[in-house]
Structure 1
Amino acid sequence: MFANFISHGQSVQWASKIIAFSSEYTDQLLGKEYRAIHALGRPSKYPKFGNTPSAWQSLTPDSPSGEYLIVSFDTVKQIKQVVVFENFGAGSLTRIEAFDENNKLYLLRELPPSYAQANGQITRIKLNALTPFKVKSIKITLNSERVKGFSQIDAIAISDDDKPIEASIALEKDPNASLVKENLGLAINSKFNEICPVVSPDGKSLYFTRWKHPENLGSAKNQDIWVSQLGDDKKWMKASLFPAPINNEENNAVCGISPNGKTMLLNNVYGKDGQMEKGVSLSFKLRTGDWSFPKPIRIQNFKNKSEYSEYTLAPNGKILLMTTETKDSYGGKDIYVSFLKSDDTWTEPKNIGPNVNSGESESTPFIAPDGVTMYFSSSGHVGYGNNDIFLTRRLDDTWLNWSIPENVGPVVNTNQWDGYFSVSAQGDYAYFSSVENSMGAEDIYRIKIPEKVKPQTLVQFAGKVVDATSKNPMNAKIVVRSTISSDTMAVEYDPYLGDFSFMWPTKKPFVVEVKSKGYLAKREQFDFRKESKYMELNRIISLMPLEINKQFKLPTLNFAQSKADIQKESFEALDGIVLILQDNPVYHILIEGHTDLQGDWNENLQLSVDRAIKVKEYLISKGIESSRIQTKGWGGTKPVSSSVLEDKRRLNRRVEFTLFFNE
């Protein structure tokens, strides 16, 4: 389903750095359109050609002194082929030359005035053999007077192979016949515009926007939000108009829903008088089931030359991706990222970079529930139509490094405008807007997501936190940490209901830490790397109340007969003790070991001491200072069960704890 960027054993390199250029087109009203940087990387318009801001264009159309561009590549190597994507005004090239490692210049080919066969073409230089030197960079020289008007260079590549370089970026011609896009029908679509579908992470609610529908609010029937629920038959029920205050007489749209379904990201800033301003807001689900009046997101130094912006919120609720146009944009609207600060404002947006952003406009970004995969619409990458939907994946935690965008394929993308691609956490269906074969204007469609287009497989972890004694819901702090990376997530938590929900990639083992003041913390580790499908997990987490100078024990901390070794299943409970001591450095702890009544009295006394010492050693191994830990052994003198039955007698083989302040 992708544009095929695989080189099939062919060593293709695309220009990665601008060394020098004669001039580049600039305009104070534009961003970085037409700059030399747009000659880097893969082509933006192929297999189409034509005038585009995603290509290098000289300052003037017909310079008598000529123009040139020098680019370098990531790897210095011998080559057998050079290609230049002349996107517009082809025919101006006069020379193609190569620099070796010592910056000596070699002529590879001179081009006659008649070499161009079309206004846009791929100009290929094939050599009879590998160059005897390693190529460091390529220089192309243009006589811009050969072709009247502007000439554009979209991309430059080299290869040590004879195979055509353009074959490595060929678009798929024959879509998989089993992958059919499904119009959602009259329950969702009408003769009016249906756009901006957002499916809730649990896949059970579909929010979308209708334009000029007769049932919309206000006399102008502006853009309003509608919602449909998934029925038991897995079909969408008849959509209904979303209630106030989310809908008003102005333009309304949902941009995203949090993983627990309790936070809604909304386009525009809501005024108390019903007026709207450009921007973005958050609404929160109340205990009554209603939604709160939208609260504006305040983004520092936010600027936008475009009339429109789109927004998407990362699953952790702390990273906001948006489209906006500034003087620093690569062209039109670009995708930027902003981070939530401790004062509840958001950082100044940063451009996420040229891998994603092109000289054309990027729009409708959607960050999948995995927090890694982003879908967006653009006409600045290799595609089928005016605007195609692409996929890119986040490569690190900066949110500024992304993979090369990949076209999601011809079943979704048409020769017209395509956008608003949304997926649920299950990763089964994708939802998007299209005008192809619609009932009137734009309609909403869904498609079974092809494997390569899917976000990461997720586990939905939901549950409650309760007091172990009263069984009542309680307040708690929940943190999820990856055991193989630096990923950390503070879980959004409702202290009134005591429930929580979060989503996590199955390929990353994780630890869930649950803490509450005055309670023994819990830490539990999970590993779902063998799971290949979305799964749901429900847990009730009970926290044990703690009191200073009051003895307590851990139900899962027991020992084998005549043994002092800590059993593996006891580690998680002991980690709860570690968390308490880490969070409360003024606490000290007394560890008291016990045995059952079997065996020699003196041996049992020593065994009880050994058990206490083993627990102490475990705490020390986790970073707790030895000076904060005291131990004592009681042998079998304090049994909790005198039964002769083993399942009862084993309860005596235990360790008990007392927290205290050291005076």
Structure 2
Amino acid sequence: MITKKTILKASSLSLLAFSILIQVSAQELRPFTAVNSPYNEHHAVLAPFGGLFFSVGYHPENAGGQTDPGDIWMSEPSGTSNWSKPQRVKELSTSGNDIVVGFTDPVSILVYHDGQQMPKGIHAYSRLNNSWTYLRPLSIENFNNESNLFSGRLSADKQTLIMSIQTKDGFGNEDIFVSFKTAENSWTAPLNLGPTINSYAQEQTPYLSEDQRTLYFSSNANAGGRGKNIFYSHRVDNSWQNWTQPKELLTANSIGSESGYANIFTDENLAIFTTTSNSEGMGDFVLIAFEKQSWEDNEEAQQLARTITASASTELENEGQNLKVPETEIMTSDSTTQSQVKNKMQISDRIQDDKKNNAAITSTTPLVLTVEDKSSERDASTLVQKQEEKVTKVPLKEVQILDAKTSEPLSYRLTLSDDSAFIKEVENQEEMRQAFNAWDWKHIMVLAKGYMPLGFNIEEWQQIEEGKLKMETAVSGASLVLKNIQFDRGTSEFADTKTLQELDRLVLFMKENQDIKIRLEGHTDNIGDPALNKELSIRRASKIRTYLALKGIDYERIRTTGWGGTRPLADNSSEEGREINRRVELYIER
């Protein structure tokens, strides 16, 4: 049986030795004993709902047994500081090497398979009820990994993939590449990060900071025969080719061969990484205070940025002079000469634009791909900028919130949302108007305990008849169409952030009305096979139930059914009608 060679967690003697090692190195290293096993734990990813997904190699329960390099396992928080016993996720596992890359939303996961039972590449799965369902392969242009190994992660904003693969034109073994999302399920060809990051050796387990300026990764190029160490480097321009010289982390490189360093426990500011006794040993997870490396405080990064900026400016000036056209030529009446002048000017503009795009990142230069802060406390300067960009707003009208039968005023709450996943709760319409003046809100939802929730975009709110909004009580049989919930065509995969916002508002409604049970009914248009349409409608309703359950709503409070295209609301002969018919309806069941 393959077991760890040095760190034997079942032994009190080894734990004592580990404690001594911590004291000697003056580092707060904590073995993640709740999830570690005698086998090879690596590449941990924290799910949006709190579960920890990771790979375990050579476990006898793996699909390929003790020769299987990695199946997907998961553990969930249990109590304030404990974790449940890890369980193998069979739907996500094959007999080959399986790696969790990230979550595109709380119920959608990306997993890499090495080609043993599934085609080599990254694949999308969706959680329905209590199991994972295969969706499709991720389309990455010219993706090819010649190695049996893979590591990679999805960025915080879900728009960038950073990965370690081996290609024919690489620098050695596994190199680190980046790919960018261009459309739903479509990604650019992997771009090699260049010779500053990559070497003749192995560069693996990349992790990008939230602002995508700092890269953490493992390499055995300069580890002195000890396996791999963890390094960091700062990106200094938008080409993704210019980086500071990688440096070793101070706190994590102290035990053996280290890899997989990532700040996944952001609330506690903890990083997780895998350590082994040597490059062939089994891996254990270790927790440590995250060693944040600031791009702004790194003098090498700042100097390199200034050098690149100066070089780009010089090239702009030189090329602008080379393409400069005499005024007499510009003023000529000859049509051919005028056309030549115009072409030269366009070429000059294009060259200057290209140079500007590759200019260095400075403290005032935004990144191509950044994570916009959507926290409740918006940065004041950002708010000012937003206000300057917006046209003058029409003041939000005052609306009376009334019981539909008695016309009595109701106690209510409001939620506001923008085009991202950010939601803000306010207690009254005065707070709503203040928030509306400070930010570009797009949607308003009204919540009153015991009543059906109602949602409006800004235009609809302004058009509420007579300024009176009448709300129906949430009695058995009451229903509403969840009109902002959209799915990718032909799938049960959520289409956009507006869908998640609508679901989060539904969570608020369910939490405020604990005695209510609901039924979700899925509907499609009549295009395609009726049996497949019915199956799809059931899967979509079940997907919503899974999301609500992950957000803390009792699973037993939600029933689901699917009607396919048998209950249309509109004529299916037009696209507008078919769009109306593709819906999910909510019914109250007391």
The higher radius of gyration belongs to 1
* TM-score for both structures, normalised by structure 1: 0.41
* TM-score for both structures, normalised by structure 2: 0.46
More helix per residue: 2
